[in-house]
Homo-oligomer: A and B are copies of this chain.
């Protein structure tokens, strides 16, 4: 088990491609809805489709993208494929982005 928690010692600047890649995965509203959906509980594709009222190919497409960025985990059980959030820390990060954005908007519209 070599270097545990080496992450916090590495400068942010060296990981900008990685950060940009993850941010791109978070840059679509439907993907964020799917991400929060599978954060509540492990969900099948059809479950997500019904819950979010999106087409099945669209959900599969976005799930593929979320898999590419490792934000979700997959598990096949019978004919169903279940997705769940890979790391719950993404949610407070999204909340922090929301807080920041709303503060910036509030400051912008305050005269």
Contacts and interface: CB of A to CB of B under 8 A. Distances in A.
A18 B98 contact: yes
Nearest to A95: B12
Interface in A18-45: 18-24, 26-29, 31-33, 36
B7 A19 contact: no
Q: Interface range on chain A: under 10, 10 to 19, 20 to 34, or 35 or more?
A: 35 or more
A102 to B, nearest CB: 5
A33 B20 CA distance: 10
Interface of A: 7-8, 10, 12-13, 15-24, 26-29, 31-33, 36, 69-71, 86-87, 89-91, 93-108
Given A12-B91, A15-B98, 6 more contacts: A10-B98, A18-B98, A19-B98, A20-B26, A70-B101, A93-B96
